[in-house]
Amino acid sequence: MHAAVVVFPGINRERDMAIALEKTCGRKPRMVWHKETDLSGIDLVVLPGGFSYGDYLRCGAMAAQSPVMRAVRAHAERGGHVLGVCNGFQILTEAGMLPGALLRNASLRFLSMDCHLRVERADTDFTRHYQRGQVFRAPLAHGDGNYFADDATLDRLEGEGLVALRYATPDGAIVPEANLNGSARNIAGIYTPNLRVLGLMPHPEDLVDPLMGGTDGKPLFDGLVAALAA
Amino acid sequence: MAQQVNQALARQFGLSADEYAKVLAIMGRTPTLTELGVFSVMWSEHCSYKSSRVWLKTLPTKAPWVIHGPGENAGVIDIGDGLAAIFKMESHNHPSFIEPYQGAATGVGGILRDVFTMGARPIANLNALRFGDPALPRTRRIVDGVVRGIGGYGNCVGVPTVGGEINFHPSYNGNPLVNAMTVGIAPKDRIFLSAAAGIGNPVVYVGSKTGRDGIHGATMASAEFGKDAEEKRPTVQVGDPFTEKLLIEACLELMATDAIVAIQDMGAAGLTSSSVEMAGKGGVGIELVLDQVPQRETGMTAYEMMLSESQERMLMVLRPDRQDVARAIFEKWDLDFAVIGHLTDTGRIVVKHRGVVEADIPLDPLAEQAPLYHRPTVEPPKPAPLGPVADPVGLAAGLMTLIGCPDVASRAWVWDQYDSTVGGQTVKRPGGADAAVVKIEDHARALALTTDCTPRYCKADPEVGGAQAVAEAWRNITATGALPLAVTDNMNFGNPEKPEIMGQFAAAIRGMAAACTALDFPVVSGNVSLYNETEGKGILPTPAIGGVGVLEDASKAVGIALIPELDLVLIGHSAGWLGQSLWLREVAGREDGPPPPVDLAVERRNGDFVRGRILSSTVHACHDVSDGGVLVAIAEMALAGNTGVRLLPEPAGVPPHAFWFGEDQGRYVLAVADSAALLQSAAFAGVPAVRIGQTGGGDLTLPDGGTISLPTLRAAHERFFPAWMNGPATR
Amino acid sequence: MIKATVTVMLKDGVLDPQGKAIGHALHGLGFGNVGEVRAGKVIELELAETDPGRARTQAEDMARKLLANTVIESFKVEVA
């Protein structure tokens, strides 16, 4: 698997992502500066977490306009895989590549804690190493992770099976208490219709090493490596 | 517009009559406004340490692993594997009282710059916070703003906030303390210093533009500014963590080249202190042309530019042949880059603006004749012995009170707003262990980091309190299995012109020095914050200690969380010391007696023993005994692991409440599978050890038969912060 | 030079927790007559432009492309 991690100014989890990718696929990802436009030879493009452009104006709004995003969109249109985590998810929605928007957390506070995520389908390249309904743990760290879309969009996402992950209790219940940031229908991550673009708020890349408290996030990367082995 | 420079103005600038006389003698003429500004900030308490320097010099600062001690932007120690840890703690107390969010945020930004200016990538932030009485609405507003500010800045720059401490006491009502600490890592042969060198070399300004932020307030109130006064009032400094993040990346990229001769961040008194210190340390002169300074506002004067405290700026001396390389890097990161002067052989700082020489000061006398005061001290009186104190409520009620009191209650509400995992190297998050443990990327080793001070001890007996703060930092690092290496200190005190305050300062330093020496734990950097007084009432003396230790193998680190079917063993001697204990204050309602004595030889012996056991991989969890004594320590361990404990009867000879809530020093609770082996090796090492409980189940069962379920205990522990912060709005 | 002011508000129907919190706080301070509160942002643009109509068109274009996220936000442009 040839992965690229896009570096926007203000991104800060690009190193975490690079470590997770190298650990799982044995190859360092290409770090792509936001002014570059060439993604040839890349299987997986990752938009990592952080505060691109300080998250000033709106989270991800300015990064969504940067030159590299034209290439990312073209990559996705070719059927390429894209993973957007946290700020990356916000950028994907701001760029219109995923529907909806990420609003301020319902508590109006930045949240940094572990959450539990229920895998809604296990037949995608991102989740093939999980089971359907499996719950895994991942740190989240964001101020604006409250997923919003209008009811028609939410219904369509659910109807087409495009909800990837939901905030859940450790035993898999989808209840308000587990919905830490107030997201619509507990949605933590969504796919594009071809299931090749995933945006999610939590950080599986920060839980791939027992030393850091667990390996719950590792199957996501292992699955991608298996799917995209070149 | 021209302001008359005279003694009255000098006084407004904070210079005494004697100090102004010295200025006149050095200059041989009346200084210009800009010159007066330079003298006033360089000779301020903040920059010159004029009241504290004589005492700071008595602290031990050397060890074989110390690469740079106090005097640089931050302390530097060798941590093995060719790496250096670079760290410092600094206060932003007053700004955080005026504007809590920005005050705390810019405090974090400032200390980050102190560390990355030396070539380190920051890998962890910590803090030490003291607030006033929670019953005051203002306290809540300040806590909310400070926590948001620390998170807002640290989260955005992508440096994990991994640890810290919070105390409440009415003495901080008008003087909250916000002490921020940053720890960074660099190759030990790639440390960047601030001493300028190379006559003719360009002086380069990078980062944000300069505005009128935080300029010395005194002059602004004077009439000469007329109707513009409102507009020109000093403004609160506003932090821009996004620019700081770019600055970190750009500086580290440039530091990988050989372009930099010297570099210093523009902190307090911005361009003045950075240029004066760089040239002074290098023994060269410096000429600045302020027209070249990137400016955010129009019509700024030389005085304003020299004294501006705009954030996210750095000053560098570059090799002239590498100027283009440097410019390209900063332009890539969209940061201002301007050559604003050059080094000279005159030994003077010359500041030009619009073709006029606005300042021309000889650097040597500016530094060498800086005031140095041996302020009078009064030895703090030793507190009278406490005498016996009866237990008014029993163990269970005492524990429930302590576990929920503001100084012990769960800090999760605070930590949950700090990104503690960014970087992917956080082995022990806040609350997971006595010290935060952060692994070093691409290495097996990790740093253990903590901040500590017990102000109520320091108030009762500053010498014991100073020693205790150092010992507790050492102990917290030890309790993770790490070897403590060095400290940074942040001395927060009242008005140094009062002999009793200076007496507290001197005594605290004496205690710290003794502890640092005995524990091989030298001071490598630090900061002093004086005049923390409101209406003549000073804060509790608060010498906050930031400690750094190293674990060669990060996987050996232990935390405090219990698992079932282990024995709990208490290491260290328990005399049942209740003087100045939290139990005495919260349960018996008294702040009284002497604090627990710190026997440094015992401290070291017990700690070295505990560390050895942890590194032999026979200890599952370890927690030092501090606020609230053994019972609070065990309750915290039980909650962290969601595992109950059945306690054994306390040893004979000490009243139960004194045994379980006493705060004797040098003690640890260890959770082990084989307590017999531990007791045996402790006996062999001459370390007091006693088995005090067993883990398992869902209750904390007390030796007197009382039982508290973990959910009940947890509810009491976790109630304070959310209930307080989400309470009804008040003005 | 023309100044355009872009006011960006969350659309009706999009939950505004910030506005809700402000309203809650105002009630706590005794301002019992406060009904719904909505929080938005104001962006002031200095445009090198002399024609107010063109300035407005440009500002609206900027609002659609960047200043507002029309999935959740509506905007209003004023030209002075």
Q: Is B92 a catalytic residue?
A: yes
- The residue assigned the tokens 């030159």 is A67
Q: Is B228's pLDDT higher than 70?
A: no
Q: Is A34 a catalytic residue?
A: no
Q: Is B232's pLDDT higher than 60?
A: no
Could you report the predicted ipTM of this complex, rounded to two decimals? 0.96
Instruction: Locate the chain A residue with the closest alpha carbon to B726.
Output: A107
Question: And the tokens for C36?
Answer: 């719904």
- Of the candidates B626, B672, B631, the residue with the CA atom closest to the CA atom of residue B654: B631
pLDDT tens digits for B31-85?
999 999 999 999 988 888 999 999 999 999 999 999 999 989 999 999 999 999 9
State the pLDDT at residue A229: 86
CB neighbours of residue B661 within 10 Å = 29
User: Does B265 show up as a binding residue in the annotation?
Assistant: yes
Just give the CATH number of B559-726.
Answer: 3.90.650.10
Chain C residues in contact with B728 (beta carbon < 8 A):
28
State the pLDDT at residue B237: 82
Q: Is B274's pLDDT higher than 80?
A: yes
Chain A residues in contact with B416 (beta carbon < 8 A):
109, 111-113
CA of B446: how far to CAs of B160, B305, B333, in Å?
14, 42, 31
Q: Is B327's pLDDT higher than 80?
A: yes
Binned at pLDDT 50, 70 and 90, residue B235 comes out as: low
State the pLDDT at residue B217: 47
Across the range B424-445, mean pLDDT stands at 96
- Of the candidates B266, B293, B263, B269, the residue with the CA atom closest to the CA atom of residue B281: B263
State the pLDDT at residue B46: 85
pLDDT tens digits for B504-563?
999 999 999 999 999 999 999 999 999 999 888 899 999 999 999 999 999 999 999 999
Question: And the tokens for A3?
Answer: 């992965």
pLDDT tens digits for B503-512?
999 999 999 9
Q: What is the dihedral of CA C32, C34, C37, C40, to 10 degrees?
A: -110
Across the range B80-98, mean pLDDT stands at 94
- Region of poorest pLDDT, from B134-138, B182-186, B476-480, B672-676: B134-138
- Sequence letter at residue B486: A
CA distance B241 to B412: 24
Binned at pLDDT 50, 70 and 90, residue B220 comes out as: very low
Across the range A170-198, mean pLDDT stands at 97
Q: Is B258's pLDDT higher than 90?
A: yes
- Of the candidates C16, C6, C65, the residue with the CA atom closest to the CA atom of residue C41: C6
Q: Is A12's pLDDT higher than 70?
A: yes
DSSP class of B172: G
Q: How many residues does the structure list for chain B?
A: 731
Percent with pLDDT over 90 in chain B: 90
Q: Is B335's pLDDT higher than 70?
A: yes
C 10-39 residues with CB below 8 A of A?
10, 13-15, 17-18, 21
Q: Is B224's pLDDT higher than 50?
A: no
State the pLDDT at residue B234: 55
Residues of A with CB under 8 A from a CB of B: 9-13, 15-16, 19-20, 49-51, 53-56, 109-113, 139, 141, 143, 203, 205-206, 209, 211-213
Q: Is B481's pLDDT higher than 80?
A: yes
Name which residue leads in pLDDT, B368 or B86.
B86
Across the range B294-317, mean pLDDT stands at 93
State the pLDDT at residue B2: 61
Chain B residues in contact with A141 (beta carbon < 8 A):
155, 419, 421-422
Binned at pLDDT 50, 70 and 90, residue A230 comes out as: low
Q: Which of B150, B242, B243, B551 to mutate to test the interface with A (most CBs of A within 10 A)?
A: B242
Across the range B332-356, mean pLDDT stands at 95
Q: Is B227 on the interface with C (CB under 8 A)?
A: no
Contact state of C29 with B728 under an 8 Å Cβ cutoff:
no
Q: Is A77 a catalytic residue?
A: no
Task: Give the pairing of strands B707-709 and B699-701.
Answer: antiparallel
Contact state of A65 with C18 under an 8 Å Cβ cutoff:
no
CA distance A193 to A77: 11
Instruction: Locate the chain A residue with the closest alpha carbon to B559.
Output: A213
Q: SS3 for B427?
A: strand
- Sequence letter at residue A184: A
Q: Is the dihedral of CA B125, B126, B131, B134 positive or negative?
A: positive
Residue B103 main-chain phi, psi, to 5 deg: -60, -45
CA distance B109 to B98: 17
Instruction: Locate the chain A residue with the closest alpha carbon to B444.
Output: A211
pLDDT tens digits for A139-174?
999 999 999 999 999 999 999 999 999 999 999 999
Across the range C39-53, mean pLDDT stands at 94
Q: Is B233's pLDDT higher than 80?
A: no
Question: And the tokens for A12?
Answer: 């800060």
State the pLDDT at residue B368: 87
CA distance A81 to A75: 8
pLDDT tens digits for A70-121?
999 999 999 999 999 999 999 999 999 999 999 999 999 999 999 999 999 9
Binned at pLDDT 50, 70 and 90, residue B231 comes out as: very low
Across the range C49-68, mean pLDDT stands at 94
Instruction: Give the relative orientation of helices B600-615 and B675-685 as an angle to the nearest 10 degrees.
Output: 140
State the pLDDT at residue B584: 98
State the pLDDT at residue B729: 55
Percent with pLDDT over 70 in chain B: 96
Chain A residues in contact with B242 (beta carbon < 8 A):
9-10, 51, 53-56
pLDDT tens digits for B1-28?
467 899 999 998 889 999 999 999 999 9
State the pLDDT at residue B1: 45
Residues 6+ apart with CB under 8 A from A156: A162
User: Does B324 show up as a binding residue in the annotation?
Assistant: no
Domain ranges (residues) in chain B: 559-726
CA distance B607 to B598: 13
Residues 6+ apart with CB under 8 A from C9: C38, C40, C73, C74, C75, C76
Name which residue leads in pLDDT, B214 or B562.
B562
The mean of the pLDDT values for chain B is: 94
Binned at pLDDT 50, 70 and 90, residue C25 comes out as: confident
Residue B450 · residue B532 · CB < 8 Å: no
